[in-house]
């Protein structure tokens, strides 16, 4: 399937960094090479956070990404900050629940999904990060959705019972994210 680089960005608490970690774990499940590099710093809930993820069939030399194949922007600031980080011909998933900013490029594809509304309608508590991840995986085909679900199930075994109880919600969200893209493609 080749190489794929993606930047996942949001405000602290949305799970942008965790979404990246899930993606990398899933890549490991499929025997692929992968790197995860976070913007670390004096971040706090509400501050801007992002991570850069590479997935490849061969060794990844640079964890640092100049231009990404895709950007997942979970809020408006992320859209503004990373719109120009998408390679020409790449795409950007925008959480249109939290961003009403005009898009400015005609050489990339924009996929606007009202993640917060859809997630809350689906289940509570809901997870926009994994829903975006489901959409990303369905869109790119870089990994199997099943691999992410496997990772989630494995992780649930290692966390507290309170967190593990949220596994069904997570699974629902990631599946629904994929379904959004699948349905869109069928309409086209």
Q: Taking CB under 8 A as the criterion, which residues in 109-148 touch another protein? A: none
How far apart CA 182 and CA 147 sit, in angstroms, is 18
Residue 38 CB, nearest approach to another protein (Å): 6
Backbone torsion region of residue 27, taken as left when φ is above 0, otherwise alpha when ψ lies between -120 and 50, otherwise beta? alpha
Give the C-alpha separation, 20 to 38, whole Å.
9
Q: 33 has which bridge partners?
A: 56
Closer residue to another protein (CB): 20 or 177: 20
Of 24-63, binders to another protein (CB under 8 A) are 24-25, 27-28, 33-38, 40-42, 60-63
Is 84 one of the binding residues for another protein (CB under 8 A)? no
Considering beta carbons, is residue 65 or 142 the nearer one to another protein? 65
Determine the interface stretch with another protein among 21-29, 85-93, 115-123, 173-181 (rule: CB under 8 A).
Answer: 21-29
Which residue from 99, 77, 70 is spatially nearest to 11, judged by alpha carbons? Answer: 77
Total residues interacting with another protein, rule: CB under 8 A:
22
What is the chain's percent helix, strand, coil content, to nearest 5?
Answer: 45, 25, 35
35 or 170: CB nearest another protein: 35
Q: How far apart are CA 1 and CA 3, in angstroms?
A: 7
Which of 89, 90, 92 minimizes the C-alpha distance to 81?
92
**Smallest separation (angstroms) from another protein to the CB of 32:** 9
Q: For residue 44, give every residue at least 6 positions away whose Cβ sits within 8 Å of its Cβ, in sequence order, or none.
A: 12
Residue 13 CB, nearest distance to another protein (Å)? 19
**Binding region for another protein (CB under 8 A) out of 20-28, 71-79, 103-111, 114-122:** 20-28
Sites of contact with another protein (CB under 8 A) = 21, 24-25, 27-28, 33-38, 40-42, 60-67
């Amino acid at each position: 399937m080749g190489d794929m680089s993606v930047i996942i960005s949001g405000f602290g608490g949305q799970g942008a960094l965790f979404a990246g970690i899930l993606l990398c774990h899933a890549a490991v499940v499929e025997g692929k090479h992968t790197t995860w590099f976070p913007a670390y710093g004096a971040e706090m809930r509400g501050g801007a956070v992002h991570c850069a993820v590479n997935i490849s069939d061969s060794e990844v030399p640079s964890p640092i990404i100049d231009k990404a194949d895709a950007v997942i922007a979970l809020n408006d600031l992320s859209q503004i900050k990373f719109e120009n980080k998408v390679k020409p011909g790449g795409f950007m998933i925008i959480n249109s629940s939290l961003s009403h900013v005009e898009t400015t490029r005609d050489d990339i594809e924009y996929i606007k999904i009202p993640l917060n509304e859809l997630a809350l309608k689906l289940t509570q508590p809901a997870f926009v990060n994994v829903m975006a991840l489901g959409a990303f995986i369905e869109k790119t085909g870089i990994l199997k959705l099943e691999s992410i679900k496997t990772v989630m199930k494995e992780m649930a075994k290692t966390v507290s019972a309170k967190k593990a109880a949220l596994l069904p919600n997570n699974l629902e969200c990631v599946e629904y994210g994929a379904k959004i893209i699948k349905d869109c493609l069928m309409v086209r």
